[in-house]
A and B are shown apart, each in its own frame.
Chain A
Amino acid sequence: MAVYLFYLIVFPGLLFSAVTGAFLSWFDRKITARVQFRKGPPLLQPFYDFFKLLLVKETILPKKGSPMMFLLAPVLAVAGAALASVFILLPLFNISSGFKGDLIVIFYLLTIPSFSYIIGSLASGNPLAAVGGSREMKLIMSYESTFLLFLAGIIVKASGNFNLYSVISIQQNTTPFIGSVSGILLFIVGIFCIQAKLGLVPFDMAEAETEITEGTFIEYSGPPYAMIKLAKYIMLFILPSFLAALLLNGFTLKGINILWAVLKIAGVVLLLTLIRNTNPRLKIKQAVSFFMIWMNLLAVIAIVLAYLGY
């Protein structure tokens, strides 16, 4: 029992993934600054932001709307992200959870933060937040089917294994899945799904700060907003490591291989940041057709190729 609590709260769960995710968030902001020829924030900037919101600022509750759901939503988001981080990171750190079919559970847990953002935005009673919430809902509807097809492609490549631990061990015994045509196609699909899940720029129409002034999060201030930041930090760490586990061979934590593990995560985050910095925001309609038509097509082609053994 104690060891499970330790998994959830300290190591790979809440604390570890939040701290790593905060550093990755700094990395993301620093790369953004360098792309724009700026200097960028100091290393501990995400921590300053988080503690400022948590300790200093006042919480304002909406007058109209449901304060209870409004305050509960960020907590749910953090809980969902922390649970997902345990399921993703335990196999990556070579601890078998002995749980078959955890890919399906991870798929469901990864949607919890987005759903709780919707709940929180609709509970705030703000019209702009409602616009953001409805956009987030449409976005979820479009990218989740693609993400499911992406996972189906991985499962076909792993010859029917639903277990993240065995997906990683299959890759480590043979070759990483990305070293094939279908693997590369799946990697492209996965990167765009992660981009949409993180709400980064081509797909940030739910929180477009220039257009609907932060949309879903418009009414959040102080500690609840700090919780949302925390959930975002965790997601920024676990989604790239999920991709690394599914396609890039996972981690081997021995000697020089630790450096490789860090480089894999940093590389995926770098790719996400570069996509974010070189693209304008899409309209929600464009995003839906992008996922529903093109990404689904790519994923289906990848599944067929994987089935044929390419």
Chain B
Amino acid sequence: MSFKNFCFKKSLWVFHFGGASCNNCDIEILDCLTPRYDLERFGILLVGSIRHADVLLVNGSINMRDRDRLLEIYEQAPKPILVVAIGACGCTGGIFAEGNTFAGPVDKIIPVNAYIPGCPPKPEAIIAGIVKLVKSV
């Protein structure tokens, strides 16, 4: 394991992209940063600008309008960037999969590194997903 890789693993900064979400996943993601689960123990921070991000967290169903935004955000991110799809909507489309305006699950638009299914996934599941992501780097 090289030094670069080690530092990258130890400080993943997260940018949160919410598609047409019902807000449950957003709440669970915020829950990960609160005292009970505290992801800052692993150096994970929520940042405000995509230019500082190492992980792009996508949740919610991606509809036609969101698709362009998501592509733009992904292209603006400094590489290497990891993409995590959270929740049933992000992973497969969930109950919106056959909707008129649905523009495909996240992995049809941008490459995805980790999937965390659930509606919404528990904070424990999100942490488990992030551990797997860190191990795969």
Q: Are A52 and B79 in contact (CB under 8 A)?
A: no
Given contacts A41-B41, A56-B80, contact A36 B48 (CB under 8 A): no
B136 in contact (CB, < 8 A):
no
Given contacts A51-B3, A55-B4, contact A218 B49 (CB under 8 A): yes
Which one, B7, B34, B52, contacts A56 given CB within 8 A?
B7
Q: Are A213 and B49 in contact (CB under 8 A)?
A: yes
We find that the number of chain B residues with CB closer than 8 angstroms to chain A is 23
Interface residue ranges of A212-244 to B (CB < 8 Å): 213-214, 217-222, 225
Q: Are B10 and A58 in contact (CB under 8 A)?
A: no
Total cross-chain contacts (CB, 8 A): 85
**Interface segment, one of A42-50, A72-80, A103-111, A158-166:** A42-50
Chain B residues with CB under 8 A of A210: 48
**Please, how many angstroms separate the alpha-carbon atoms of A49 and B44 in the complex?**
10
Chain A residues with CB under 8 A of B34: 38
Q: Are B52 and A221 in contact (CB under 8 A)?
A: yes
**Please, how many angstroms separate the alpha-carbon atoms of A275 and B3 in the complex?**
36
B111 in contact (CB, < 8 A):
no
**Please, how many angstroms separate the alpha-carbon atoms of A39 and B38 in the complex?**
7
We find that the number of chain A residues with CB closer than 8 angstroms to chain B is 33
Interface residue ranges of B42-68 to A (CB < 8 Å): 43, 47-49, 51-52, 54
Closest A residue, CB atoms, query B51: A221
Q: Are A45 and B79 in contact (CB under 8 A)?
A: no
* Chain A contact residues, majority secondary structure: loop
Interface residue ranges of A183-235 to B (CB < 8 Å): 209-210, 213-214, 217-222, 225
B11 in contact (CB, < 8 A):
yes
Chain A residues with CB under 8 A of B38: 33, 38-40
Q: How far is the CB of A223 from chain B (nearest CB, A)?
A: 10
Q: Are A219 and B51 in contact (CB under 8 A)?
A: yes
Mark A138-163 against chain B: 1 for CB-CB distance below 8 A, else 0: 00000000000000000000000000
A10 in contact (CB, < 8 A):
no
Which one, A41, A49, A59, contacts B78 given CB within 8 A?
A59
Chain A residues with CB under 8 A of B4: 51, 55-56
Q: Are B43 and A42 in contact (CB under 8 A)?
A: yes
Chain A residues with CB under 8 A of B3: 51, 55
A37 in contact (CB, < 8 A):
yes
Interface residue ranges of A260-279 to B (CB < 8 Å): none
Which one, A29, A42, A51, A217, contacts B49 given CB within 8 A?
A217
Chain A residues with CB under 8 A of B47: 209, 214
What are the 4 A-B residue pairs with the smallest beta carbon separation, nearest first?
A209-B48, A48-B10, A213-B48, A221-B51
Beyond the given A39-B40, A52-B10, please list 8 additional residue pairs across the A-B interface where CB-CB is below 8 A: A48-B6, A48-B43, A49-B11, A55-B4, A58-B78, A218-B49, A219-B49, A221-B51
Q: List 20 A–B pairs whose Cβ atoms lie within 8 Å, in order of A's numbering.
A: A29-B40, A33-B40, A37-B35, A38-B38, A39-B40, A40-B38, A40-B40, A41-B40, A48-B6, A48-B7, A51-B7, A52-B7, A52-B8, A57-B79, A57-B80, A209-B48, A214-B47, A217-B49, A218-B51, A222-B78
Chain B residues within CB distance 8 Å of chain A: 3-4, 6-8, 10-11, 34-35, 38, 40-41, 43, 47-49, 51-52, 54, 76, 78-80
